[in-house]
A and B are shown apart, each in its own frame.
Chain A
Amino acid sequence: MNSFAAFMTKEFYHILRDRRSAMILFGMPIIQLLLFGYAIRNEIQTVRIAIIDQSHDRITEAITDKLLSSGHFVLVDTFSSDDAIEEGFKSGEITEAIVFEAGFGRRFVREQETSVQIITDGSNPNLARIVLSYTTAVFMDYRASLLQGDEEGKGIAAETLMLFNPELKSVYLFVPGLITVILMLVSALMTSISITREKETGTMEVLLVSSLRPYQIIIGKVVPYLMLSFINVVTVLIIARFVFGVPCRGSVTLLLLESLLFILTALSLGIFISTITSSQQVAMMISLGGLLLPTVMLSGFIFPVSSMPLPLQIISTLIPARWFLVIVRGIMLKGTGIVYFWQETLVLASMTLALGILSIRKFSIRLT
């Protein structure tokens, strides 16, 4: 036990001695969370549009004003031909073109029926959808403003209650997601080369002839990183709360405990990668190149898992971040307790246990 403590202390010093790495480890998550927390949004800020007004009357001008004063739309040009619109799309100058038909206003008043063409750049489907819905809303608002509050007799009306996030802030969605993704990647990255490095530099032999048992070596490698990661967790949660104003409606203690479990899963994954690879380079490529996109894309951080095709939903169950995301959002936004996500917790715990056992066994095999 004494040699174990000494080994752990040594590992600790080893991490802290490398000032540069330590700075990166603590600095990176903070910078990333601050940057992305402010930058990643779903609400469209500015849409560059072209308006082709073949009518130029009171009504088209009123609608144009309404569009431009909504703050979302910036008029880039008033093209006249379809070719010019296409050029505008191809060079990325505009994302939407609005074409008022000739005699728009006259037809609106006299014939009670007029039409407008809204052309979006479908090469970005998401943007196209949002832009179309914003524009449609402006047109509908204009029409409604002429209807002069005829509230009665409209049939069924919906009374909507938006639970947990009444203002539909995307920051509430993204900050817990960012916490998950950043912690996952940083943690796995940290341990992924810890054992391979020993193999590569030849210090592995020293470990092998020591009196340490395989599990002690693994634990000795993980624990210092676990403590460092915990500091990361606390910092990140403080930023979430006080910089981005994301509430924590559930128990903070529970959140910290669950975070600790999740980090442990990520660290075990890193250790596991480290035991199955033979060079630092391979280990890094797996943890850098193999984890980044799957974690971002399959965890539900940006794209809802329930909308994915079934095979991908199944693959996503292998992504630890997917489970933790449910837990963080549950505690922070919904204020739920362990009874609501004991299954997710169990999955993370089992993953950790499995990865730990596999690592120790893989490591023992190398001993013989």
Chain B
Amino acid sequence: MRTIVFLLRKEFLQIFRNKGMLPIMFIMPFIQLIILSNAATFDVKNVQFSLIDKDRSVLSDLFAEHVGSSPYFTLTSGSMSDQQAFNAILEGRDKLSIVIPEDFEKDLYRYAQAKVQLMIDAEDGYSAGIIQAYTREIIESFNGTIISQRLLAPGTRTLTESPQVGNIRIISSSWFNPELDYIDFMVPGILVILVTMIGLFLSAMNIVREKEAGTIEQINVTPVKRYQFITGKLLPFWIIGLGELTVGLFIARVLFDVPMLGSYPLIYAVASIYLLVVLGMGMLISTVTETQQQAMFIAWFFMVIFVLMSGLFTTIESMPVWAQNLTLLNPVRFFVDIMRRIMLKGSGIQHIARETTGLAVYAVIMLSVAVNRYKKTSG
């Protein structure tokens, strides 16, 4: 036991002596948390559009005004040629162009129907879909207006309102986050990523650094036992990881006002297990590599996969089934999910038992493989 205490003291001294490292470990993650939590939104706002009115009639004016008053849209230009409008989209200045053709008003009076043309920049298919939905909404409400105000001249065919068939009223509500606020969703997730990065990178580079510097030999010839050495190596990062989590949770609560419906002890319990998985992985990387550079590449490789396939940005539900199954090997996926559930939904131990057991099994496997790979003899 005393040996472990000595080792711990040595490791901690080493960590805190490294002045360049301290701000990176203790400041950089939180700056990122604070800044990046605001970046994630799939909302489509400030859609810049141009409008070409070839009809120049009372009704087309009215329609143009209707579109312009939409909170989603910002008019950039009202008089262009089709080609200019297309170029504006090509250059990325506009996302949408609306063309009101000639005879717009005449058609509406005569046939009670008319067309408008939309050109949407579909480079980003997802946003394009939303822009299309916005315009559909605007057009429908405009149709509603001209019907209800009976703007069409008497004698023409009236617009028909949905005949015979009943109306289905859709009452939608979102539980746990009625405003669908992205901050509440992102903060717990980004926090997990930051804690993971620190834990994984630090532990991955730790032992390999001693290999590279040659100091591993010195430890190997001391009577320190394997488990003592490994405890001494991993425990400091485990403590630092939990410390970072604490600061992050504090920021989430105070700065972002993210709800905390579940229990903190539960979060810490899961985090303690989770960090063992991460540190075990880091250590495994450390034992299979020869240089810090290799360790860095491998750690980075897995980290990118973990981040992009964690459900943090794009939902797991949208992945093909094989990829969804693959995410079952991704510890980050579980912890992101668990954190969100505990914080936003107040899930208890009974709701996350399966995932937590999975993490525990994972931790045992990772640590035992890593310990086995580490041999006290070199070469």
Query: Hey, which bits of chain A sit against chain B, CB under 8 A?
Result: 18, 20-21, 24-25, 28, 31-32, 35-36, 38-47, 86-87, 89-92, 95, 107-109, 111-129, 132-133, 136, 139, 142-143, 146-147, 150, 152-170, 172-173, 182, 185, 189, 193, 197, 277-282, 284-286, 288-290, 292-294, 296-298, 302-304, 306-309, 312, 315-316, 326, 329-330, 333-334, 336, 340
Residues of B156-203 whose CB lies within 8 A of A: 157-160, 162-182, 184-185, 190, 193-194, 197-198, 201
Find B297's partner among A21, A39, A121 (CB 8 Å cutoff): A21
**A113 B294 Cβ-Cβ under 8 A:** no
Q: Contacts of A278 on B, CB cut-off 8 Å?
A: 20
Q: Contacts of A326 on B, CB cut-off 8 Å?
A: 92
Considering the complex, give the chain A residue whose CB is closest to the CB of B45. A307
Q: How far is the CA of A302 from the CA of B181 in the complex (A)?
A: 17
Find B300's partner among A47, A127, A185 (CB 8 Å cutoff): A185
The answer to whether the Cβ of B231 comes within 8 Å of any Cβ in the partner chain is no
Residues of B334-365 whose CB lies within 8 A of A: 337, 340-341, 344-348, 350-352
**A155 B159 Cβ-Cβ under 8 A:** yes
Pick 12 A–B contacts, CB within 8 A, sort by A: A89-B176, A109-B166, A113-B169, A123-B177, A123-B344, A150-B163, A158-B115, A160-B118, A161-B118, A278-B20, A281-B292, A316-B39
The answer to whether the Cβ of B80 comes within 8 Å of any Cβ in the partner chain is no
**A168 B125 Cβ-Cβ under 8 A:** yes
**B315 A158 Cβ-Cβ under 8 A:** no
Q: Which of B138-146, B245-253, B271-279, B366-374 contacts A (4 or more CB under 8 A)?
A: B138-146
Q: Contacts of A159 on B, CB cut-off 8 Å?
A: 115-118
Question: If A24-B298, A158-B136, A285-B201 touch, does A308 touch B39 (CB 8 Å cutoff)?
Answer: yes
The answer to whether the Cβ of B65 comes within 8 Å of any Cβ in the partner chain is no
Considering the complex, give the chain B residue whose CB is closest to the CB of A315. B35
Find B121's partner among A20, A46, A163 (CB 8 Å cutoff): A163
Q: How large is the interface on B (under 10, 10 to 19, 20 to 34, 35 or more residues)?
A: 35 or more
Q: Contacts of A308 on B, CB cut-off 8 Å?
A: 38-39, 41
Considering the complex, give the chain A residue whose CB is closest to the CB of B311. A124
Minimum CB–CB distance from A158 to chain B (whole Å) comes to 5
**B173 A92 Cβ-Cβ under 8 A:** no
Considering the complex, give the chain A residue whose CB is closest to the CB of B165. A146
Q: How far is the CA of A185 from the CA of B147 in the complex (A)?
A: 56
Ranked 4 nearest A-B pairs via Cβ: A122-B174, A168-B125, A122-B177, A155-B143
**B169 A294 Cβ-Cβ under 8 A:** no
Q: Which of B2-10, B106-114, B218-226 contacts A (4 or more CB under 8 A)?
A: B106-114
Question: If A90-B351, A156-B142 touch, does A25 touch B297 (CB 8 Å cutoff)?
Answer: yes
**B169 A115 Cβ-Cβ under 8 A:** yes
Q: A133-B133, A163-B120, A307-B43 are in contact. List 10 more A-B contacts (CB 8 A).
A: A20-B289, A39-B320, A45-B319, A86-B175, A126-B182, A156-B115, A157-B115, A279-B21, A290-B28, A340-B92
Interface centre among A142, A277, A284, A298 (most CB of B within 10 A): A284
Interface centre among B86, B300, B305 (most CB of A within 10 A): B300
